[in-house]
Amino acid sequence: MVELLSGNYAIAEAVRLCDVDFIAAYPITPQTPIYEKISEMVSDGKIRGQMMRAESEHSAMAACISASLTGVRVFTASSSQGIAFMHEMLHFASGNRVPIVMGCVNRVVSSPWAFGSDQTDTLSQRDTGWLQLYCENGQEALDTVIMAYRVAETVFLPVMVIIDGFYTSHFIEPVDIPEKENVDRYLPPKNLPNRFDHRNPAFLQNVVDAFYYSEFKKRQFEDTLRAKDVIVEADRIFGDTFGRSYGIVEAVHLDDAEIGIVTSGAITSCARLSVRNLREKGIKAGLLKIKLFRPFPYEEVVRYLSHLKKVVVIDRNVSVGKGGIFCDELKASMCNLENRPQIYGFIGGLCGEDLPPELIEKITLYVLREEKPPEMPIWIHGTNF
């Protein structure tokens, strides 16, 4: 059934459809509507699970880890400062191999204090061992939460399903809500191991020596790489079941392109229009949307971009002192190729600063005129293209 939903409410609907048993969360703008809607659904009996209104995000994640170890299906959601406050527990979650799914709504990390979208909150958690999936709109977010449980409960790794604050979290658009019976069939049966007996509580974090530590990390690393195939498969079967699939990356008109634009999240939608407009003007532009950030889809990046002369990467995030984070990952993926495209990194749309299709077109035309990319990123803010 198609309904008008914000991206936040689309995520809450997915939590209902997945029969989540336990939700622990703390409200923070722009994630709060997820928290409120789930709370309402639990109160109305639409979600049979329990909701714990935690006193902080750190506690929420600690509760999620413990609950997940008892074998129940767990969800939480956060943004910005909340995700930063969880940071320590995020490592515990992936190290304990708990299949938690977390809805993340990108918002700037203070200071200065602000509310708009900036992926730096989730990208700063790059090395915590969570799988990261960046969604373009509310529909994709709903679908990806459902896929995320299938993936998490197969590989025993936690998953972040990420949307842009405001542009996705608060934009209301038609969203198709799948039938619950089909979601039940799509998801694995709830048969997670009970690794923690709450009637006989015990400390689970054993101290290990260097040999065991390395053994644990190596296995976690290898399983995270293997998760890519599991995600591809989960997406394919989702497509067979529900008629929608997204891929871990999506290539648009890249085969015959002379220049490729690389985006993630909500900016992708505007970039689709930019590619269409540029092609109408006779410029062979293409687009690569990167959905999966961890594990990074380096093979796909090489497959779709290595034949190009020039690549434009637009990052709504910044690693201060270095550059856009997607851009850096992209450069690293191609550094051992003999022939590789010039890569132009742009930082823009921070705090939700407007990034309409016309501006992306201007950036693309600017790069076509340039001879050599600068080492450091180009700031869209304050530059006249």
Q: In the complex, what is the shortest distance from the CB of residue 28 to another protein, in angstroms, rounded to a whole number?
A: 15
Cβ distance to another protein smaller for residue 87 or 170: 170
Q: In the complex, what is the shortest distance from the CB of residue 356 to another protein, in angstroms, rounded to a whole number?
A: 4
* Coil, helix or strand at residue 304: helix
Note the helical H segments in 52-190: 57-69, 80-95, 120-123, 138-155, 180-186
Distance CA 362, CA 263 (A): 16
CB neighbours of 285 closer than 8 A, spacing ≥ 6? 253, 257, 258, 259, 260, 261, 274, 275, 278, 279, 364
Site residues (CB under 8 A) for another protein? 4, 137, 164, 166-168, 170-174, 266-267, 269-270, 272-273, 354-357
Distance of CA 134 to the CA centre of its chain: 3
Q: In the complex, what is the shortest distance from the CB of residue 267 to another protein, in angstroms, rounded to a whole number?
A: 7
Cβ distance to another protein smaller for residue 93 or 133: 133
Q: In the complex, what is the shortest distance from the CB of residue 270 to another protein, in angstroms, rounded to a whole number?
A: 6
Distance CA 58, CA 73 (A): 19
Q: In the complex, what is the shortest distance from the CB of residue 20 to another protein, in angstroms, rounded to a whole number?
A: 27
Distance CA 76, CA 279 (A): 42
Distance CA 190, CA 205 (A): 25
Q: In the complex, what is the shortest distance from the CB of residue 13 to another protein, in angstroms, rounded to a whole number?
A: 17
**Distance set, CA 293 to CA 85, 158, 160, 312, 340 (Å):** 21, 14, 10, 17, 21
Instruction: Tell me the residue length of the chain.
Output: 385
Cβ distance to another protein smaller for residue 273 or 302: 273
Cβ distance to another protein smaller for residue 24 or 355: 355
Quote helix, strand, coil % in the chain, to nearest 5.
45, 20, 40
Q: Are 226 and 277 in contact (CB under 8 A)?
A: no
Distance CA 154, CA 131 (A): 13
Q: In the complex, what is the shortest distance from the CB of residue 119 to another protein, in angstroms, rounded to a whole number?
A: 14
Q: In the complex, what is the shortest distance from the CB of residue 174 to another protein, in angstroms, rounded to a whole number?
A: 6
Cβ distance to another protein smaller for residue 29 or 39: 29
Cβ distance to another protein smaller for residue 60 or 363: 363
Cβ distance to another protein smaller for residue 170 or 279: 170
**Sign of torsion over alpha carbons 8, 10, 16, 22:** negative
Cβ distance to another protein smaller for residue 51 or 355: 355
